[in-house]
Amino acid sequence: MKRLTGLSLAGFAVLVFLAAPAGAQLDLLKKGTDLLKGATGGSEESAVGGLSMGEIGKSLKEALRIGSERVVGQVGAQDGYNADQAIHLPLPETMKSVQKALGAVGMSGMLDDLELKLNRAAEAAAPKAKALFWQAIDEMTLDDVKGIYEGPDDAATRYFQGKMTPPLAEEMRPVVNESLSEVGAIKSYDAVMGQYEAIPFVPDVKADLNDYVVEKGMAGIFHYLAKEEAEIRKNPAKRTTALLQKVFGGE
C-alpha cells in the first residue's frame, strides 16, 4: 500500500482552502504549495506548520471517512431512496409500456408496489459502499491528489467513481439479488408480467431488475457524495472532530 504523503496534501488543498476565511487563504495556499514541493521526498512525520505529516494525513482520512459514512448512512436508511425524489428509483424505462397497459385496466397498484420494492432493495445494498470508500481513500496517490487539487468541486467524487464503480457494482449485486427476493420484488414482477402478458397484442418486455437497481443505487450514492464534498470544501461546520479542528483550525 502506498504511503500517505500525497494524501496529506489533499487535506489542505481539497478540504481547507475553499472553506477558509479570506484572510487565511494565502497562508493555507502557502502550506499547500510547500506540501506539493515536498510530498515526494518528505517523511510522514515531517513538520508542516507545526503539524506532522502523519497528523495531516490522519485528518484527511477522517474527513473523507466521515463524509462517505454520512452518505451511506443517509441512502441506506429506510426510505433513503424511496422518499427522496433526487435519487428515487422509478420503474425501468423498458416497463413503461407495462405501466401504461396495466394502468388502463385498473392495475397500476401492482406497479407502485414493484417500484417501492426496487427502492427497498437499493437501500439494503447501499451500506456495501462504506468499506470501498475507505479502501479508495487509503490508495490515493500523489497524482490523484494533484488531480483533486486542480479539479472542480466534485473532483474527489469523480476519483471515487473511477476507483469504485466496478468493485462497488460487484459488491452490491448479490445483496440486491437477495434483497429483491426478500422484499418480494421478484414475486411482484412475476405477477405484473403475468397480468401484462395476458393482455392481447402487447409487445414483449424484459427487465433486468438486478442490474437496474445496482446502477441506480450507485448513482444515488455518488449524487450525495458530490454534495457532501462541496459542503466539506465550503462549510467549516462539517469539520467537527477534535483532530479536524486541530489540523484545519491551526490550533
Identify the pLDDT of residue 222: 93
pLDDT band at 145 (very low <50, low <70, confident <90, very high): low
CA separation, residue 14 to residues 98, 127, 158, 248 (Å): 47, 25, 13, 11
Contact 90, 112 (CB under 8 A): no
Predicted model pTM: 0.70
First-to-last C-alpha distance (Å) of the chain: 31
| 234 closest CA partner among 19, 20, 25 | 19
CA separation, residue 114 to residues 142, 193, 215, 235 (Å): 46, 11, 17, 39
Q: Answer whether residue 142 shows pLDDT above 60.
A: yes
Q: How many CA atoms lie within 13 A of 143 on its CB side?
A: 1
Identify the pLDDT of residue 17: 39
Q: Answer whether residue 2 shows pLDDT above 50.
A: no
What is the per-residue pLDDT across 26-67, written as a single tens digit (0 to 9) for each? 444 444 444 444 444 444 444 445 655 456 556 666 777 888
- Residue 165 has which C-alpha cell? 464503480
